[in-house]
Amino acid sequence: MGACCSKDERFGGFKNEEYMGRERANWEEAGLITGDGKNGPPLKLQGSSKFTSSFTQQGRKGVNQDAMTVWEDFTGQHETFFCGVFDGHGPAGHKVAHHVRDVLPWKISAAFKSSQLHSTDNGGNVEDVKDDHDPFVSLWKPIFIKSFKEMDYGLHRDSSIDASCSGTTAVAVLKKNDDLLIANLGDSRAVLGTRGHKNQLVSVQLTVDLKPNLPGEADRIRNLRGRVFALDEEPNVFRVWLPDENFPGLAMARAFGDFCLKEYGIISIPELSRVKLTDKDEFVVLATDGVWDVLSNKEVVKIVASARIRSMAAKLLVDCAVRAWRSKHPTAKVDDCAVVCLFFKPPMLTRSFSGTLRRTVSDPTFLQPRQSRTIRSTGGSMSANVPSSPREGWNPVEGMSRMSSSFKIPRFGNTSASNRRRRSTDVIEEESHCGTLANFPLNKKQD
């Protein structure tokens, strides 16, 4: 449950964790939605709003270990959004993911409030904590890094959750006006849906899947005596192991929790990047690897843009991912999926989203396996897992690794949804390593 930042003066502008804990059960029972704008920012754990769509679905591996949260008017600032998805792993992964979902946004809110009060106490103002070169980054970067570290430290001290061999990934975005800050910890992913020079819909990957065999990650782990290698039965999946035991085999290089590996190179410091949004940018999609393992960046962006009703975009994407798992690998266990879509423009200004699938995604030929090929973005060439040279305005903040990993995650494939009525509008046909993503009609951009 995402922790809710309150305007209640009794808590110095924020509700404390004890209060949030008492409210949690009521929030869940009420439909995973809390906040009406009267007592604090609206908060959603599943569902939709004017600018967001979110949905999660349990796979076939047991309890759903994915979690997500959406905060509107984050930190009490109008039209400021915080969105995050969290993918738990290990025996207590669901507890870790839910705990991080609950507490991390609150910690970021509290850290922001503290920075504002500190600048005022010193006779300054908000501008005092900013850098003339990039005020947005210089304000929020230390807040995010501090909050992620404190989140992991608090989790380690929480006796109610055994996170020694369990943990969670996290990918979160903060949007304020035309600034977008992305924080990445693990192998969940953020992808931007934007318009190319011919107004075609294209995808731009905003995060790197932080796998253990990425050169920078592998060097850090091995320098601290952790081992990185793949098992013979899954040669493409590199994992992290203890120095003297083939355990626990963590398939990512950064995470909250997993304290048995923390002294051997697993860290909870996120990679941060910033995007300066333009009028061409339409939305950003955050999703756990249950989606990215079976759908490419382009396919995800097309599916989200094809949703006739914006509020159904996340559910449509999860449905497509589940069908992809079942059709391409019927013997595999479908993974949990969680999706948050954050749209940048009011619905009335984004007519392209009214387009629907020209060919139904339930067609058995939809997303048939094909040979892997390069994904093209506005910034050039981009692999399915690693961004290309970033487009203008996309700046790494925390040493973003850009080298492709030497393996490919096993891909499974196909998708979902009911037949949709065809429209006589412009058509863009795209292909990817998962196959041909049917023709998606997109209305021309209005003058």
**Residue 436 domain flag:** yes
Q: What is the mean pLDDT of residues 53-66?
A: 94
**Residue 4 domain flag:** no
Query: Is pLDDT above 70 for 219?
Result: yes
337 pLDDT tier (thresholds 50, 70, 90): very high
Specify the pLDDT at position 116. 85
**What digits encode the pLDDT tens for the residues 401-433?**
333 333 333 333 444 444 443 333 332 233 333
**Residue 19 domain flag:** no
Containing 27, the helix (H) or strand (E) segment is helix 17-29
Under 8 Å CB-to-CB from 267, ≥6 apart: which residues? 220, 253, 254
Query: Is pLDDT above 80 for 383?
Result: no
Same-domain status, 246 and 326: no
- The phi and psi torsions of 107 (rounded to 5 degrees) equal -65, -40
H-only helix segments in 54-171: 93-121, 135-157
Same-domain status, 257 and 296: no
Q: Are 369 and 435 in contact (CB under 8 A)?
A: yes
Give, in order, the Cα–Cα distances in Å from 167 to each of 92, 156, 179, 203: 7, 11, 30, 29
- In the chain, how many domains are there? 2
Instruction: Residue 248: give the domain boundaries.
Output: 215-264
Same-domain status, 281 and 197: yes
H-only helix segments in 259-330: 289-292, 297-306, 313-328
Same-domain status, 287 and 256: no
Same-domain status, 197 and 328: yes
Same-domain status, 350 and 379: yes
Out of 229, 264, 299, pick the residue that ends a domain.
264
Q: Are 113 and 147 in contact (CB under 8 A)?
A: no
**pTM (2 decimals)?**
0.73
Same-domain status, 236 and 276: no
Q: How far apart are CA 407 and CA 214, in angstroms?
A: 10
